[in-house]
A and B are shown apart, each in its own frame.
Chain A
Amino acid sequence: MVNDKPVNCELVWREISNYLEGDIDATLHSAMDGHFRTCSRCRSVLEGTQNVIQLFGDERMIEVPSGYSRRLERRLTQSVRAPGRSWSPWSAWLVPVAALLLITGGVRIASSRTVAHPLLSEHAQPAHGIPSDMVVVVSAGAKEFHVRGCEFIHNKDNERTLTAKEAVQQGYVPCVRCMRKYLLTANAGRTALELEADSQIDSEEPRSGGGG
């Protein structure tokens, strides 16, 4: 068993991905936490790996070719329309009306953005859909707010809790990993650890950590 053997660097490197997935048992997790406190190299690997996941998990990393959305919409629209179907005379009104609605909507969206509190990063995406009274965690020196227990909290020794609303007001932005998962699973009021427990669907998989 893991607790019969010291956790060495090789084991940590082998299990670091599972650690970040929350996919290791509590004993190994605790042993790795201890190792990270004393081994600067492994801590550097952990933090670098967390950064990789957060950087690539950001929607801004997905770039699409110019005009992609327009072409996709056109193709879908063409497929939806029955062959040979033509516009009726009254539908000619739809184009200017739709354009007017779009312009009005655009102005409203633009003006609504100007009243929001400035974020720590001017490019940050707002926390759409996160309940304003949800308790979240931030840590000193970081810019993201997290679900309690998230593996991506930097500087865990200096963390504090506040509501999502306060976090947004103070300019924090949602963690791309735990907050997205929270929204996807739509389990209001549950912690990251509880959410992780839900995702233990891979538990039948043999783990090398058990053998140390």
Chain B
Amino acid sequence: MAEANVVLNNPMQPASREQELIGRVQRGENELFYELVKPYERRVYAAALAILRNDADAEDVAQEAMLKALRGIRQFRAEARFSTWLIQITVNEALMRRRRERNGIMEAIDDQRDQDGEYTPRDFADWREIPSEALEREEVRQKLAQALASLDRKYREVFVLRDMEQLNIQETAEALGISIAAVKTRLLRARLMLRDLLAGGWEQGWFSRLPFAKGTKPW
């Protein structure tokens, strides 16, 4: 059906186009760089925000990271994923910014708080089908963002890079400069804590109190 093909065969940025853009920018057509990075601009911002927790700093770091990527694009190797390379540059830039601004003091304090032991998930009623339509609601996104923001830095960073930025475990470890074992432990903890925070909210009804169609839950 032609209608379905409109949806299926209309990639926003097919891999071949991305490869072509990378090659052309590497050969000096810098004016194409924004087209190359545009599909990832939101993810770059989110990665910076996860580390800096400040809108203005995150935006500034996102811009700096993009400029750094442009200057270093000849070092990008085709066997890597461009989006991952970009996110790693961003994380590095954000970590450097944080170290510079905190002058290392807070880092040392934070690093002592490593509570990576056992975690017992709370016992809630089933939270079965994913309430994906609920994401259109500003209130729901705010609740999710608040839950994420309430996590300790080390859990939040790992969760954002793995589950929002879609880096794999090893890429997350490399980006943050921590071990693979630490990534796995923190990821487990982050996911379970978020589940507890959100399943609890669901059970208490803040999802279902939102103005969906009368009489039916959207999930």
Contact = CB atoms under 8 A, between A and B. Distances in A.
A17 B184 contact: yes
Tell me the dominant secondary structure on chain B's binding face. Answer: helix
Given A54-B132, A62-B45, A115-B3, A132 B127 contact: no
27 contacts: A13-B120, A16-B188, A40-B126, A45-B121, A45-B195, A48-B121, A57-B166, A59-B42, A60-B141, A61-B164, A62-B164, A64-B42, A76-B66, A77-B34, A79-B70, A80-B70, A123-B135, A128-B8, A132-B5, A142-B130, A143-B129, A143-B130, A143-B132, A144-B132, A184-B83, A202-B180, A205-B180
Interface stretch (B55-63, B72-80, B93-101, B107-115): B55-63
B194 A56 contact: yes
A73 interface: yes
A54 B14 CA distance: 23
Contacts of B14: 129
Tell me the dominant secondary structure on chain A's binding face. Answer: helix
B163 interface: yes
Contacts, number: 212
Contacts of B37: 76
Interface size grouping (class) on chain B: 35 or more
Given A57-B163, A202-B169, 7 more contacts: A14-B118, A61-B144, A63-B141, A68-B59, A143-B132, A199-B168, A201-B170
A64 B141 CA distance: 13
B184 A205 contact: yes
A184 B81 contact: yes
Contacts of A144: 130, 132
A141 interface: yes
A154 B127 CA distance: 11
A43 interface: yes
A126 B3 CA distance: 12
A47 B126 CA distance: 8
7 shortest interchain CB distances as A-B pairs: A129-B11, A17-B188, A48-B195, A132-B8, A126-B7, A80-B30, A48-B127
